[in-house]
Structure 1
């Protein structure tokens, strides 16, 4: 049994270096692609979130219990991007 295992190890040995080389580079490429995809998705999400106008709206409050007096359920969400009741703050120094 030991001779069979020894024979198999010596038979596979010339192929181990190329196989390990390919596996190592494949893992490296997959990690880089995964990081690139995560960064790209984060940037696109951040761009979309910066389109939410709630913080500059007259009806927006800084109270966490009632963020918007007109549409409290959609305040600071993606649904608020095209809010028809958006009014810019008349006094930007409040809050």
Structure 2
């Protein structure tokens, strides 16, 4: 039994080096690809989140209990991107 395993290892040894080489580069490629996908997804999410106009609205209170006096359930969410009640702050020092 031990001789069979030894013979098998010596038989596949010339193939192990190319397989390990390709496997190592595949792992490196997959790691870099997953990092690239994570960066791409977070940039697209950040672009979408920066479209939310709530912080520049006169109805925004900046209080965690009541963020918006008109639509408190949708304040600072993606549903507030096209808010029909958005009014820009006329004087930011008053709010």
Q: TM-score band (shorter)?
A: over 0.9
Asked whether 1:48 is paired with 2:51, we answer no
Asked whether 1:80 is paired with 2:80, we answer yes
Gaps of 5+ in 1: none
Deviations 1:31-87 (A, max 9, x none): 111110110010000000000000000000111000000000000000000100000
Matched residue of 1:76: which SS?
coil
Gaps of 5+ in 2: none
**Runs of 4 or more consecutive aligned structure 1 residues displaced over 6 Å after TM superposition:** none
Match of 1:62 in 2: 62
Aligned CA RMSD, in angstroms, stands at 0.9
